[in-house]
Amino acid sequence: MAEERNSREKQNTPPRPPRGVMMRGPKKIDKNTVKRLLGYFKKHKLALFIVLLMIILGAAVSVLSSMFWQYLIRDYIEPLAAEYTSELFAKLVGFILTFAAVYLVGVLSTLVYSQIMAIVAHKILREIRDEMFEHMQTIPVKYFDEKSYGDIMSFYTNDTDTLNFMVAQTVPQTISSVLTLLFAFFSMLSISVWLTIFVILYNLGILMFSKNLMFKSGDFFVKQQTSMARVNGFVEEMAEGQKVIKVFNHEKKFEEEFDERNGELKKNATKANVYAGIMGPIMNATGQILYVLVALIGGFLAISNTGVSAINYNLTLTGMNALDVGAIVSFLTLTKTFSRPLNQMAQQVNSIASALAGATRIFAMIDEKSEVNDGYVTLVRAKKGENGEIVETTERTGMWAWKHPHSADNTITYTELKGDIRMENVDFAYVEGETVLHDISLYAKPGQKVAFVGATGAGKTTITNLINRFYDIEDGKIRYDGININKINKVDLRHSLGIVLQDVNLFTGTVMENIRYGKLDATDEECIAAAKLANADGFIRMLPDGYNTVLTGDGSGLSQGQRQLISIARAAVADPPVMILDEATSSIDTRTEAIVQKGMDALMEGRTVFVIAHRLSTVRNSNVIIVLDHGRIIERGTHDQLLEQKGTYWKLYTGAFELE
C-alpha cells in the first residue's frame, strides 16, 4: 500500500481503480429499486390502465378455455353419444363458434397490450436515459476519473436493454400470470374445493423448495451485470489503443487479460443462468407429477362417487359427489392453467433479476452526488456609467463584471472581469491524507503569461484543475479578481476561462459546429474570425466542404496539428480573459508546433495565460516560469533569471536531465 501511495503521489494524478477492479459498483439489488421503477410507470396511467384491462381479458379467456371442456363434454358430447339429434349438434356447433370468438378476443387483447407495453417501455427507457444523461452532466470530474468510459457506456446499453425487456415483456407477463392464477383458483374452487386445496398445498411446497434458487440467481445476475460492464470498459480501452498495442506487440498480453475478464463474466453469467435455468425443469417436472396425481385422485372420487359423507361434510359444498368426466377434464386443464403461470414466473426470475441488477446500477449512478455549486457571485455584461462606475447591462459591450451580492447589508458590488488570478498557501489532496500540492502561492496579473514546468506528476495540471474548480482545495485561498473562487458560481467561473488541452476532443459535426462549441451563440463570422486568429482558416478552406466539412471519429481525417488548431479556434471564439494551455503542442512535430504556436500567441495576446509545457522553448517569453517538483514550487522567475540561478530549470533547459 505504501508503494502504491508513493507512486500515486509521484504521478500526482487522481487515483484510478486498479486494472480489473470496479469502483463503487452496487453489490446487491437495492430494496427501493422496484419502488423507484414504479415511479416511472405512474406517468403512463391511461396506457397502463388499458393494458391492465387487456391483460384481465386475456387471463379470463385463458381460464374460460379450460372450463370449456366441462360444458362441452357434459352438455354436448355425452348427450350426443347417447342419442344423436340435429338440434343438439347445431347447438354444439354454435357453442364451438362462441368459444372460437372468445379465443379471438383473447388473442387480440394479448396483441393490443403487447404493442402498448412496447411503446410505454421505450418511453420509460427514454425518460431514464434522459435523466441519466442530464444528471451525468452534474457529476464532479472525480467520478469520471475513477470509472472507465466503457463502464459508463454500459449504463446506456446493457443495463437499459435488460430493463427494457423487463418493462415491455416480463412485467405484463407477470401480471397476466398472477391474474390467471387467481381466475384459475376460483374456477377450480367451483369444481372441487378439496382438489383445489391439494393443488395449492402442492405448489406452495414446490415454491418453498425453490425460493433459495431464486435468491441465488438474483445475486449472480447482479455480478453478471458488473462483470459485463468491466468487459465493455476493457474492450473500449483496447479499441482506442490498438495502435499502441500493435506497435509494442502486446496482443497476446491483452488477449490473456481479456480472457480473464471474459472468464469472470462467463462464470457469473453461467451461475446466474444455471440457477435460473433449474427453475424451468423443476416446475415442469413437478407440474407433470401434479397433473398425474390430480387425475388419479379425481378419477377415484368420480368412480367411488362417495365424497366424504362419512365425516358429515356437505357434499354440495365439496362438490366431490358431483365430479364427472367433464369436471375432471376441466380441472386437469385448470391445473395446468394454474401451474403454467407459476412456471412462467419462475422462468421470469432470470429477466427480473438481470433487469433489477441493471436498474440498481443505473440508480446508483443517478444517485451520485451532483457537483456542489454554492457560488453566488455571477458574471454579467457590464459597461461604465456616467460617473465611471460599473453598471449591469444587457448590451454586448465586450465588458464583463462580477456581480457580488452582500447579504450583510443587501448591497451589490460590481468588479470588472480582468483575469487576476492568485493562489495563497494552497494545499490539495485527491485522496484524504495524501497531499499532492503543498503550500502553493502564485499570482498572475491581467495580461501576464505564467508557465508551469516540471516532471510528469509534479502538480502542473492539478493547479489548473483547481482554478477551474474541478476539485476544491483543502487549505489556502484562490482569488479571481480579488474574489474567493469558492464564492463564484462554477458555471460563470468556467465561462471566464478558456482551455486548450493536449488531447483534443472533436465532436461529430461540421468544422463550424466544432468551433462554435466554444460559444454556442457565436455567428459564422465570429467563428471564421476565431479560426483566422488561430491560424486555422487556411487549411479549413482547403477541406472538401470548407467550414461545412463533417468531422467524424474525433476528427480522424485531420492531422494532430489541424485538430489542435480547431481546438484553439474553439477557445478563441469564447473570447475568455483567462486561458489555460495544457501541453497543447507536446504531441505534434516541430514544424507543426511553429504553426500552432503562432495561433496560440495570437490567442494569448492581452489575456492572462497559464501554460503547461514540456518543450521549454514555448515558455521562454513567459512573464514568470514556475518550476514544480512533487507538488512544491522550487523555483520561480523569468527565463533569464532562472538560467542565471543555474538550478533545476537551467539543468532542464541545457539538457542536464530530462523532464520525465
Return the minimum-mean-pLDDT range out of 61-65, 103-107, 511-515.
61-65
Three-class SS state of 475: strand
Give the Cα separation of 309 and 300 in Å (integer): 15
Q: Within a 13 Å sphere around the CA of 599, how many CA atoms are in the beta-carbon half?
A: 32
CB 458 within 8 A of CB 432: no
pLDDT score, position 421: 92
**Residue 346: predicted pLDDT:** 64
121: left (phi > 0), else alpha (psi -120 to 50), else beta? alpha
Domain 2-15+28-366 shares a fold with domain 421-654: no
% of the chain at pLDDT higher than 90: 12
Residue-wise pLDDT tens digits, 425-478: 999 998 888 889 999 999 888 888 899 988 878 888 889 889 988 888 889 999
Beta bridge partners of 380: 401
CA dihedral 461, 464, 470, 474 (to 10 degrees): 90
For range 641-648, the mean pLDDT: 89
pLDDT band at residue 541 using 50, 70 and 90 as cut-offs: very high
Check: pTM over 0.85? Answer yes or no. no
**What pLDDT is attached to residue 396?**
78
Largest alpha-carbon pair distance within the chain?
124
Look-up of cell digits 426470475: 349
Tell me the sheet residues that pair with 501.
Answer: 582
Q: What integer pLDDT is reported at residue 336 of this predicted model?
A: 78
| Res. 507 pLDDT band, cuts 50 70 90 | confident
Q: Identify the pLDDT of residue 30.
A: 59
For 305-338, write each residue's pLDDT tens digit.
Answer: 544 333 333 444 344 445 677 777 778 888 877 7
| Lowest model confidence (mean pLDDT) among 24-28, 62-66, 552-556 | 24-28
Q: Are 458 and 631 within 8 A, CB to CB?
A: yes
- Cα angle 140-146-151, degrees, rounded to a multiple of 5: 105
Q: Is the pLDDT of residue 20 over 50?
A: no
Looking at the predicted structure, is the pLDDT value of residue 636 above 60?
yes
Question: What pLDDT was estimated at residue 234?
Answer: 77
Q: Which fold has domain 421-654?
A: Rossmann fold (3.40.50)
pLDDT of residue 378: 92
The SS3 assignment for 449 reads strand
Strand-by-strand arrangement of the 483-484 sheet = 434-444, 421-431, 475-480, 483-484
Q: Which residue's C-alpha cell is 486555422? A: 536
> Per-residue pLDDT for 110 more than 90?
no
Position 297 pLDDT exceeds 70: yes
The rounded distance, in Å, linking the Cα atoms of 274 and 543 is 57
Closest CA to 233 of 92, 100, 361: 361
Helix axis angle, 193-240 relative to 325-366, nearest 10°? Answer: 30
Q: Would you call 373 exposed, middle or buried from its count of C-beta atoms within 10 A (0-12, 13-18, 19+)?
A: middle
Tell me which residue of 581, 604, 597, 595 sits closest to 539, measured CA to CA: 595
Domain boundaries, the chain: 2-15+28-366, 378-416, 421-654
- The answer on pLDDT for 380 being more than 80 is yes
Cell numbers for 488, please give them: 463564484
Please, which residues have CB within 8 angstroms of residue 534's CB and are 6 or more apart in sequence?
A: 565, 566, 568, 569, 572, 599, 600, 602, 603
Contact 390, 364 (CB under 8 A): no
Number of CB atoms found within 10 A of residue 381's CB: 14
**Could you give the angle at the alpha carbon of 358 between the alpha carbons of 352 and 364, nearest 5°?**
130
Cβ–Cβ under 8 Å, residues 180 and 59: yes
DSSP class of residue 377 equals B
Q: Which of 51-55, 203-207, 567-571, 626-630 has the lowest mean pLDDT?
A: 203-207
The partner residues of 401 in beta bridges, in order of sequence, read: 380, 416
pLDDT digits (tens, 9 = 90+) for 118-174: 888 888 888 998 888 888 888 888 888 777 777 788 788 888 888 888 888 888 888
Per-chain mean pLDDT for the chain = 79
CB 426 within 8 A of CB 464: no
pLDDT for residue 227: 80
Pick the CATH number of 2-15+28-366 from 1.10.15.40, 1.20.1560.10, 3.40.1690.10, 2.30.30.60: 1.20.1560.10
Whole-number percent of the chain with pLDDT over 70: 81
Q: Which residues contact 400 (CB under 8 A, 6 or more apart)?
A: 379, 380, 381, 382, 416, 417, 496, 577
Q: With cut-offs at 50, 70 and 90, classify the pLDDT of residue 210.
A: low
Q: In the predicted model, is pLDDT for residue 232 greater than 70? A: yes
- Compute the distance between CA of residue 507 and CA of residue 485 in angstroms, rounded to an integer: 30
* pLDDT of 247: 56
Kindly report the number of other CB atoms within 10 A of residue 16's CB atom: 14
Residue 243 pLDDT grade (very low, low, confident, very high; cuts 50, 70, 90) = low
